[in-house]
Amino acid sequence: MSERKIRVLIAKPGLDGHDRGAKVVARALRDAGMEVIYTGLRQTPEMVAEAALQEDVDVVGLSILSGAHMALVPRILDLLRAQGQENVKVFVGGIIPDEDIPRLLEMGVMGVYGPGTLTEQIIKDISAAVSRVERSSQR
């Protein structure tokens, strides 16, 4: 009876303590009609993967400002795959040097959004990525 909503986990893995960006994105996704699970600061990759499983999310958004993204992101992707959530889309926001972006995309990250990104862009990308997953799982 009630329709399907896109569910997004917004997490801040690592040790930096600045979550304004994560909150701005969470709020924008809410206003786009998505259900956003917000987990707060200082999450380990295991905590992020565990929350993604329990909440059965379509998308995981990681906000990382500490520079630890090349360690944290592959770890989280591995954990998601290991628990059978290879269909979950992962995007990364925060401070990511340009040269790391292609490497993150190669690992399977859906998008990397630095400062100044329009939230409309993130919403558009998420909607497109989730509907692609749905089409392929129906087949």
Partner 1 sequence: MSLAESVLQGNRLALARLLTQVENESQEGVEELNRLFPYTGKAHIIGVTGAPGTGKSSLVNQLVYALRHPEGAQKPVRVAVVAVDPSSPFSGGAILGDRVRMRDVVGDADVFIRSTASRGALGGVAASTANLVQVFDAAGFEIIFIETIGAGQAEVDIARLAHTVIVVEAPGLGDDIQAIKAGILEIADVIVLNKADRPLADNAERTLRMMLELAGNRQRTKAEGEQPSKGWTPPLIRTIATEGKGIREVCEAIQEHHRYLHSSGEWGRRERLRLQTELENRLQAILLKRLQDAISVETYEHLLNEIVSRQLSPYQALEILLDGVEQ
Looking at beta carbons only, is 51 or 70 nearer to partner 1?
A: 51
Looking at beta carbons only, is 64 or 104 nearer to partner 1?
A: 64
Task: Find the helix packing angle between 119-138 and 20-31, rounded to 10°.
Answer: 60
- Six token digits for residue 80: 């998601």
Q: Which residues make up the interface to partner 1 (CB under 8 A)?
A: 1-5, 7, 26-27, 29-40, 46-47, 50-51, 53-56, 83-85
Looking at beta carbons only, is 22 or 112 nearer to partner 1?
A: 22
**Minimum separation from the CB atom of position 101 to partner 1 (A):** 28
**Residue 123: how many CB atoms within 10 A of its CB?**
18
- The H or E element containing residue 102 is helix 101-107
**Minimum separation from the CB atom of position 29 to partner 1 (A):** 7
**Minimum separation from the CB atom of position 46 to partner 1 (A):** 6
Q: Whole-angstrom distance between the N-terminal and C-terminal Cα of the chain?
A: 23
